[in-house]
Amino acid sequence: MALHKPIDIPLPPTNNWVTKQRVENTVVIFADLSGFQQFAADYGDMTCMGVVEGLFEKFDEFARLHQLTPLKTNGDQYIAVGFSAHPKHILPSSFNTNIHQRASLKESLCRSVRDAVSAAFHFACKARDEVNSHPLLVSSSCYLRVGIATGSVIAGRSSRRFGNFDIWGATVNRAAMLEQFTAPNTIAMCDRSGSLLISPEHNRPLLHGNHLLLYPKYLKTKAEGILAHVC
C-alpha cells in the first residue's frame, strides 16, 4: 500500500492531525480498475506495475489541479479526499451572529461543499478519460469505476507505529461500497453528493457536455441500499 502525504491545499484551521478529529463536509473518492486481474494475466506484474504507477501519477496531477488530497493507493485502488474550505467547526459555538449573518455563512458553507463535490466529480471524469485513453487497459477491458461520498469523517494520524494520515467513518465506507458495486466505466455518487451538483436556481445539473448525471438508482450492497447518482 502506497501512502501519500496531504498536499498543500486549504484544510481546516487546526492542522494538528496527530489528534484525530471529526471533519464535516468532506468528500471521499475511491477509484479502482475493474478487470485488473485479467489485465495482469495478459501482461504480467512488471508491465502492470508500470502502467498503474504512470496512471496514478496522472491521478495525482488531477488531484492537485482540483485541490484534492491523494490519500493512499492499494494495488489498483486509488483513494483521495477533498476538504471543504469552510468546515462547520471553524465557528465556535459561542460565535455571535444575527440571523442574516448566519444565513450568509450557511450559504457560503453550501457553496464550498458544492465546490468540493464538483472538484471530486471533475477529478473522476478526468481519471476515467485517462484510463479510457490507455490502449493496453482498453485492450483488456480494464475500466475505471469510482465511488464518491460526502459527509463527516474522522481524520488524523494513525496511532500505530508506522501509521500515517488517514480518514475513517461511515462516509469512507459509503464511498468504498459505491466504488465496489457500480458498473465498470461509471462514477457513482451518494445522494448528497449528487444533489449538491444540481443548480438550486434551475433544478438541473451544473455539469454539461459528456459528463451529465444520467439517472438516480439504488446500488444494492451487502450492507445497505444506497441512493446513488450514476454517470
DSSP-derived secondary structure for the chain: -EE-PPPS----S---TTS-EEEEEEEEEEEEEETHHHHHHHH-HHHHHHHHHHHHHHHHHHHHHTT-EEEEEETTEEEEEEE-SS-GGGS-TT----HHHHHHHHHHHHHHHHHHHHHHHHHHHHHHHHHHT-HHHHHTT-EEEEEEEEEEEEEEE-SSTT--EEEESHHHHHHHHHHHHSPTT-EEEEHHHHHHTEETTTTEES--TT----EEEEEE-SS-EEEEEE-
| Single pTM value for the model | 0.78
What pLDDT digit, counting tens, does each position of 204-216 carry? 544 433 444 444 4
Which pLDDT score is estimated for 5?
A: 42
Residue whose grid cell is 464511498: 175
Neighbours of 192 (CB within 10 A): 19
* Strand 187-190, strand 2-3: pairing: unpaired
Please name which of 5, 23, 4 lies closest in space to residue 13, comparing C-alpha atoms: 23
Architecture category of domain 2-230 in CATH: 2-Layer Sandwich (3.30)
What distance lies between CA 198 and its chain's CA centroid?
Answer: 18
pLDDT tens across 89-98, in order? 444 343 444 5
| Tens-place pLDDT, residues 65-119 | 999 999 999 999 999 999 886 544 444 343 444 555 556 555 556 668 889 999 9
